[in-house]
Amino acid sequence: MTDIQGIGVLGAGAWGTALALTAARAGNNVVLWGRDANAVSQMRSRNINAKYLPGITFDEDLNATTDISQVAACDLILAVTPAQSTRAICTLLADHKVGRTPIILCAKGIERSSGKLLSQVVSEVLPAATIGMLSGPSFADDVAKGLPTAVTVAANEMDAASSFCEALASPSFRPYASDDLTGVQIGGALKNVLAIACGAVVGRKLGASALAALTARGFAELSRLGAAMGARPETMTGLSGLGDLVLTCSSTQSRNFSFGIKLGQGTPARDLIANGTKLAEGAHSARIAVDLSDKLGIDLPICKTVAGMIDKDISVDDALSNLMARPLRSE
């Protein structure tokens, strides 16, 4: 890997802005691209992103822009746009002759139309690019404020992963390198689905015992899918697996957990989606996870339950009854 100094960030929402600040704190020249011209103008003139990170001002110098060609010219690109737009954003980069530039995926999900991991999507559109994945227990507000955060940064080659970590590390942001790119992606995608289930339990006021049980059994599903897809067990028990699951299944800062709470309170999924509720990537990933489990011959009952609540508007009470009525078996 060549020396990384200029980092481009695609996506000027809360997470994109927070990661741009992280990259700047690590001593890099940063270009932050966004579609929202008002938000970009505000960051350039007032050092604030009021729409996505209200109340947080920053001193770091971010070159905010709506010109994607400025990102295309950087040494390293962080793709922080939603998971379902990964193919489209990579196509834009291809149009700007981005070939071998390393790309770190920072969205968590699986492509809905194909069932492919995001790294597979990037490889199809930008076959020469070195691909990384950043994932772990982290909320945008905490990272933007410079609060202590640890994540996993993975690539197929450990040298590349280590290089990415060196480019992003700062006193408050600790990235750990991994060469289990598949495992890190699975952890990030599936924990969003499981967080919806946990949120539904909280929204229905079913108690802390039910929440703990569901989180633990959810981790079993995450591990099962990871094993079937070749992920390493230590990845599943690490920051990007268990660590992210625990955070996401216990805090209303999580969009997926909050989405689940509303389901538990009786709001149909179709209304939540139609009303433009903040993106809950797990709502997209649930059905994909079920399709993958069918293809691989493994059992993901919680994911199937979440898919039923989203696709068929199954109530939380019926969903819980279905889970509790499953045949008794050893743990």
At 107-157, the pLDDT tens digits run 999 998 898 999 999 999 999 999 999 999 999 999 999 999 999 999 999
Mark whether 86 and 145 lie in a shared domain: yes
Mark whether 24 and 107 lie in a shared domain: yes
Determine the pLDDT at residue 304: 94
Determine the pLDDT at residue 222: 95
Confidence of residue 307 (pLDDT cuts 50, 70, 90): very high
Mark whether 214 and 139 lie in a shared domain: no
Mark whether 292 and 226 lie in a shared domain: yes
Mean pLDDT of the region 73-82: 95
Strand partners, 104: 78, 132
Determine the pLDDT at residue 281: 86
Determine the pLDDT at residue 180: 98
Mark whether 140 and 77 lie in a shared domain: yes
Identify residue 279 by its one-letter amino acid code: L
Mark whether 250 and 290 lie in a shared domain: yes
Determine the pLDDT at residue 4: 76
Mark whether 88 and 133 lie in a shared domain: yes
- Given 179, 199, 234, which residue is the final one in a domain? 179
Determine the pLDDT at residue 249: 94
CB atoms within 10 A of CB 296: 13
Is 1 a member of any domain? no
CB atoms within 10 A of CB 298: 14
Mark whether 88 and 168 lie in a shared domain: yes
Structure confidence by residue, pLDDT tens digits, 33-46: 999 999 999 999 99
Is 224 a member of any domain? yes
- Given 153, 179, 205, which residue is the final one in a domain? 179
Determine the pLDDT at residue 133: 98
- Judged against a pLDDT cut of 70, whether residue 256 lies above it is answered with yes
Mark whether 170 and 213 lie in a shared domain: no
Boundaries of domain holding 149: 6-179
Mark whether 113 and 65 lie in a shared domain: yes
Split into its structural domains, the chain has a count of 2
Mean pLDDT of the region 15-31: 96
Confidence of residue 2 (pLDDT cuts 50, 70, 90): low
CATH code of the domain covering residue 209:
1.10.1040.10
Is 239 a member of any domain? yes
Residue 119 contacts by C-beta under 8 Å, 6 or more apart in sequence? 105, 131, 133, 181, 182, 185
CATH code of the domain covering residue 28:
3.40.50.720
**Catalytic position from the list 116, 145, 191, 295:** 191
pLDDT > 90 fraction of the chain, expressed in percent and rounded: 82
- Written as six digits, the tokens of 267 are 């709001």
Determine the pLDDT at residue 275: 63
Residue 270 contacts by C-beta under 8 Å, 6 or more apart in sequence? 313
Structure confidence by residue, pLDDT tens digits, 161-198: 999 999 999 999 999 999 999 999 999 999 999 999 99
Mean pLDDT of the region 3-24: 93
- Judged against a pLDDT cut of 90, whether residue 235 lies above it is answered with yes
Determine the pLDDT at residue 143: 97
Is 36 a member of any domain? yes
Mark whether 175 and 187 lie in a shared domain: no
Is 330 a member of any domain? no
Confidence of residue 277 (pLDDT cuts 50, 70, 90): low
Is residue 118 within 8 Å of 281, Cβ to Cβ?
no
The β-bridge relationship of strands 62-65 and 173-178 is unpaired
191 carries an active-site annotation: yes
Mean pLDDT of the region 79-94: 94
pTM as predicted: 0.93
- Given 123, 157, 179, which residue is the final one in a domain? 179
Mark whether 245 and 233 lie in a shared domain: yes
Strand partners, 151: 175
